[in-house]
Amino acid sequence: MSAPAELIERANRVSRALITTGDPTIVDELLARIALLKAENARLVKERDRCHERLEIDHHFVMVGENQLERREIPIDQRAAEPDGIEARDCTIALQDSRIASLEAEREALKEALAQIGVVCSDNAPETCRHDLALKLVADVAARALLPRQDRLSEGEG
């Protein structure tokens, strides 16, 4: 039995004893139990508030004006509907995992392109290599590898 439930049960026993015996000293014990229950309740409310703050569901930020954020408290009865800090962290991790996978795929594609350049450049014999096509391939692959990230993103790559 939890501490508050145990205290409630004891308070109930005291009140039944008061009714049964008519002993007024039981009232003092009952008042002491009520005081303990109030103190325990205050402690639990404080702990709940600490946990809500840690989960970041006690407030959110809203945009005011063009570029200013304002903190707004969320009423206790609306907090369950708010995504908490753990959910936000999990979403961030999922986005990072997706981005890492995209970068790993890009790295593999660039390694393959580099291997192709190596093959083209290693076979420099005029009878087996068309230098004009080899140079075009090298230029295309090099341009892709050196193209600033922002330009690649604007071309629709992830």
Query: Given this model, what pLDDT does residue 8 score?
Result: 78
The residue-averaged pLDDT of 126-140 equals: 73
pLDDT tens per residue, range 24-41: 777 777 788 889 989 999
- CA–CA separation, 92 and 20 (whole Å): 62
* pTM to 2 decimal places: 0.49
CB atoms inside a 10 Å sphere around CB 120: 19
**For residue 113, what pLDDT band results from cuts at 50, 70 and 90?**
confident
The packing angle between helices 25-55 and 3-21, to 10°, is 160
Residue with tokens 């004891």: 10
Percent of the chain with pLDDT over 90: 24
Burial of 57 (0-12, 13-18, 19+ CB in 10 A): buried
Stretch among 59-63, 75-79, 107-111, 125-129 having the lowest mean pLDDT: 125-129
- CA–CA separation, 26 and 119 (whole Å): 96
**For residue 150, what pLDDT band results from cuts at 50, 70 and 90?**
very low
Q: CA-based angle 51:57:61, to the nearest 5?
A: 140
Q: When comparing pLDDT for 124 and 33, which is higher?
A: 33
Provide the sign of the torsion angle of the four alpha carbons 97, 99, 103, 109, taken in this order: positive
Query: Given this model, what pLDDT does residue 22 score?
Result: 67
Residue with tokens 């508030």: 49
Q: When comparing pLDDT for 151 and 53, which is higher?
A: 53
In angstroms, the Cα distances linking 9 to 1, 14, 15, 37, 47 are: 10, 9, 10, 11, 23
Q: Report yes or no: 33 and 11 within 8 Å, Cβ to Cβ.
A: yes
Domain residues of the chain, as ranges?
Answer: 3-81, 85-154
Mean pLDDT of all residues belonging to the chain: 80
